[in-house]
Structures are given as C-alpha cells and as structure tokens.
Structure 1
Amino acid sequence: MPPPSLAPFIIKRPWLLNMLKPVAQLYANAAGYRQLGLRADDLISEENETVLQALKRLPPKQSYDRIFRIRRAVQLSLSHKLLPKNEWTKPEEDVPYLGPLVEQLENEIKEREALDTLEVVKKH
C-alpha cells in the first residue's frame, strides 16, 4: 500500500500549487534522471506483480522506448557520463505513462476482491 499523498490537498489550493511547482521542478532536475534520458515512470520498481502486469499492457512502441531509455541510462551510468544537454528529457516529455496503468490495475484488483467476497443474502 502506497503512503498517503499530499497531492490532492495541494492541487485543490492553487496558491499552494503555484508556490510549490518551482520547488518540484528544481527537485526533478536535481534528481538527475532527466540527464540520463529517463522519465519519472521509468524509475518505478518492477518487483511488484501489479507493475509487471502494467508493463505487459503497454503498447509495443512505449515498451520498446522504455527499454531503450533504461539500457541507455545504465550504459551512461557505467561509463560515468551524461547525455548531451539537447538529449535530456524535457519536463513536457516527462509525462506519466505507467502510473495510470498501475492505478487502473489496482482498481481492477480491488473490484475483483470485492466481487469475490460478495455475500448473497436470500430473502424469504
């Protein structure tokens, strides 16, 4: 179970969102994954069964692109190099592609569990 998120609280308050957005951009740039050509969803651990199922649901092009980005980042990391600045992942390219699928799968699992534990009550 993921930890509770402050995102809904922050999104409902535009003044707070405007104040924290530059900090979030600084943090994303400081994390360093964009300098390796990765997206934020490339960092999601594949050890979870739900994530593995979400990866199977990715379209072939997205799946190929993800594998390419990860392999290139590993190679760059091993050689202690960064991509040229023009090849870094731009903030507008860093959109979630795996997170929504994981969330959809988690909702499906919850729904399946709710239906499996459903009790039928007969009225006389």
Structure 2
Amino acid sequence: MSAPSLIKFAAKRPWLIKLLTPVANWYANAAGYRQMGLLADDLISEENETVLKALSRLPPDVTYDRIYRIRRATQLSLQHKILPKSEWVKPEEDVPYLAPLIAQIEAEEAEKAALDTLAPIRKH
C-alpha cells in the first residue's frame, strides 16, 4: 500500500496548491536527501511485497542508478559528509520513477481481488 497523499484533495483547490508548494519545497530541502544525491523514490522502503515487485519491473539501468545513489549516500552518511552543491539533486530532476509502478501494481492487485471475489449470477 502506498503512502497516504493529499494530492487529489489539493488538486481540486488551486489556492491550496499555491499555499503548499513552498512548504513542500522547503520540506524536501530540509530533509537532506537531495544533498546526498538521492531521489524521493530512493527513500521508499523495500520491505513491502508491492515495492519488491515494482523494483523487479525497473529497467536494468534505472536499477543500477538507484543502487549507486543509495550506496553513495550510505558512504557519505558514514563519513558525515554531503555532496558538493553542484552534485545535489535539483527539484526538477527529482521525478518519481518507482511510485508510478507501485500504483500500477496496486491497481492490478485490486483488480485481481475484485475479479477473484466475483460471484456468478445464476439464471433459473
């Protein structure tokens, strides 16, 4: 199951988007993952079966990049360092690559569950 999101609620209210966008940008910068070279989807925990399926569907080059970013961030964390500012992930580069796959897998599982629980209609 993916993390709860208010995007659908906020998308219907443009004033709320204007209000929350600076707060969201501030929070993403304060979290520090971009300073370590990570993308937001790199922070998704791999302890979920759905996430593991999504990771297995990633192309090999995207998987390699993800592993590289995580290992580099781990090394930086152990050294108590951050990347030079020129190597920080910019907000426009931080696009979701795993979340769409997770949503797709959850939709497939919901559809499968709905189809598995169908009861046949018998006509007499």
The SS at the match of 1:76 is helix
For each residue in 1:9-68, what CA deviation from the matched residue of structure 2 results, as whole angstroms up to 9, or x when unmatched?
111111111121111100000000000000000000000000000000001111110000
Distance in 2, Cα, partners of 1:104 & 1:12:
23
Residue 76 (structure 2) aligns with: 76
| Counterpart residue type for residue 56 of structure 1 | S
Which structure 2 residue ranges, 5 or more long, are not aligned?
Answer: none
Report the CA distance between 1:6 and its aligned residue.
Answer: 2.0
The answer to whether structure 1 residue 87 and structure 2 residue 87 are counterparts is yes
Instruction: Show the counterpart of 2:98.
Output: 98
User: For the Cα contact (< 8 Å) 2:38–2:70, is it kept in 1?
Assistant: yes
Q: Distance in 1 between matches of 2:96 and 2:4?
A: 19
What is the CA-CA distance between 1:2 and the residue it aligns to? 5.0
Q: How does 1:1-124 map to 2 (within 5 A)?
A: 1=1, 4-124=4-124
In structure 1, the gaps of 5 or more residues are none
Aligned residues: 124
CA distance in 2, matches of 1:15, 1:27: 19
Question: 2:31 & 2:20 partners in 1: Cα distance?
Answer: 16
Q: Distance in 1 between matches of 2:94 and 2:114?
A: 34
What is the one-letter code of the residue matched to 2:59? P
Q: Which amino acid aligns with 2:30?
A: A
State how far apart, in whole Å, the 1-side matches of 2:68 and 2:3 are: 30
Provide the identity percentage. 69
Letter in 1 for 2:18: N
